[in-house]
Amino acid sequence: MSAPSQIPNPAHTLAESMLSRRFGKETVNYFSSSPINRLSFLRNDHPFLSSALKHPSTQFLLLNNLAPLTRSPAEVYYAKYDEVRSLIPNDTFDQSEEELIKGFDSRKTHANLIFLGLDESRKEGSMTHKIYTGIPFFAIDVTPKGSAAQQTACKDIISAMEEKGLSFFQTRVISTFTPDEAAIYAQARALMDWNTRNTFCGTCGHRTLSVNAGTKRACPPTDEARTAEGLPQDRPECNTRTTLSNLSFPRTDPTIIVAVVSADGKRILLGRGKRFPPKWYSTLAGFIEPAESIEDAVRREVWEEAGVTLSRVLIHSSQPWPYPANLMIGAIAQCSDAAHEKINLEHDPELEDARWFEIEEVEEALRIGTSDLSSGAGPEYKGGLRLPPETAIANQLIRAAVNADYFQSERSKM
Ligand SMILES: [Zn+2]
């Protein structure tokens, strides 16, 4: 029996619309389509956050060095407020954001606490704020660090959880959670990682303060710790205070990933990284550079890595990839002429190999030969090609390139 599909359902509830009739249902990728309404406009509403934090239905996703607390590799364990309250100061969210910034003291450390949103699909025992009803979700960092008291609280929570038989799931890329849990975890991991890497201001180098329920970091103008050292309370000037600087917002790095189809529509271009397991190939990918369109980035990457010149590029779907902050923008592209299909690996030596595969061979691999990059093919595998699992957008792009109507109707004419 094969495992249930890990691909989430499209967020649009009815597939029937002029757009969906023309272009079909949206393709949704693993780590996207979260059940949580992020309610980003309530992230500075501290009375709301305070009641969400202490509500009996509230779920806390615990991260220890970014590894999520789980019951098993397939199931997240959500803690209750009582299980983590030793790590959360009692007056959290009592003051407004402005007051917190004003009273900033760089000597005090707190565990990162992130409001993820409300799961509005669950009403039982849920909380209501204005017109919003659902179960609040937070992520909290239990990595032992910061003040001695914070470290002790973290260690105590970790031991208490491990005594219950729970564990922090350490793995390179998670692909075993249900689609809903994968999306919640992706949001938590990406934001926690960004907070952890940005404890100092990128402009002036001084300590920052988590605000907006863990989704922004401020560079406060004053610091109580300076007064204690006999210095003026004002910190040196910093541009992030006067301009809408990107420095204090979480980053998302756009990346292109593309399934390339030959001019006759009968072959697909795939590449092999140097560290891939045997027989394993995937779609080509790379970062979008500053001042570059998605389509231009696709053409540049494919030419740089494989020497192939592309014609039309079609944006297909996207996938958040929280390792650490990528947004994979998936495309399907085609060469317009057989002369443009010649492979040359000498421009950028990133790939160990790139090759055109017949559609039939790719179809067979999609049927019998997909696996995680870490697992690879066992010696019993008799197929010629291995491909990424369905939780990777690469798999969805290859599938679309193989199945797409626009290629099949053309192919049947040949
Ligand atoms: Zn600063």
pLDDT tens digits for 300-324?
A: 999 999 999 999 999 999 999 999 9
Give the distance, in angstroms, between the CA of residue 68 and the centroid of all CA atoms in the same chain. 14
138-164 residue pLDDT tens: 999 999 999 999 999 999 999 999 999
CA dist 1 to 53, 377, 383, 384, 391, Å? 42, 19, 20, 23, 18
Residues facing residue 36 across a β-bridge? 119
Task: For the chain, give the mean pLDDT.
Answer: 92
C-alpha 3, offset from chain centre: 23
Residue 379 has pLDDT above 80, yes or no: no
Q: Is the pLDDT of residue 134 over 50?
A: yes
195 alpha carbon to ligand 1 midpoint, in Å? 15
pLDDT at 244 over 90: no
Q: Which residues surround ligand 1, an ion (CB under 5 A)?
A: 201, 203-204, 219, 238, 240
Q: State the CB neighbour count (10 A cutoff) for residue 160.
A: 14
Residue predicted with more confidence, 371 or 410: 371
pLDDT per residue as tens digits for the range 231-243? 999 999 998 888 7
| pLDDT band, very low/low/confident/very high, at 377 (cuts 50, 70, 90) | low
pLDDT of residue 412: 60
User: If you write DSSP's letter for every residue of 282-314 in order, what string do you get?
Assistant: B-EEEEPPTT--HHHHHHHHHHHHH-PPP--EE
Q: Say if strands 253-261 and 326-334 run parallel, antiparallel, or are unpaired.
A: parallel
**CATH superfamily label, 252-413:** Nucleoside Triphosphate Pyrophosphohydrolase (3.90.79.10)
Centre of ligand 1 to C-alpha 391, Å, is 39
At 1 the pLDDT is 37
pLDDT in tens, 61-82: 999 999 999 999 999 999 999 9
- pLDDT for 13 beyond 70: no
Domain spans in the chain, listed from the N-terminal domain onward = 31-248, 252-413
CB-based contact 330:258 (threshold 8 Å): yes
CA of 249 to the centre of ligand 1 (A): 13
CA of 244 to the centre of ligand 1 (A): 12
For residues 343 and 15, the model is more confident at 343
Residue 181 CA: distances (Å) to CA of 34, 98, 148, 177: 8, 34, 32, 6
- Determine the distance separating the centroid of ligand 1 and the alpha carbon of 238, expressed in angstroms: 5
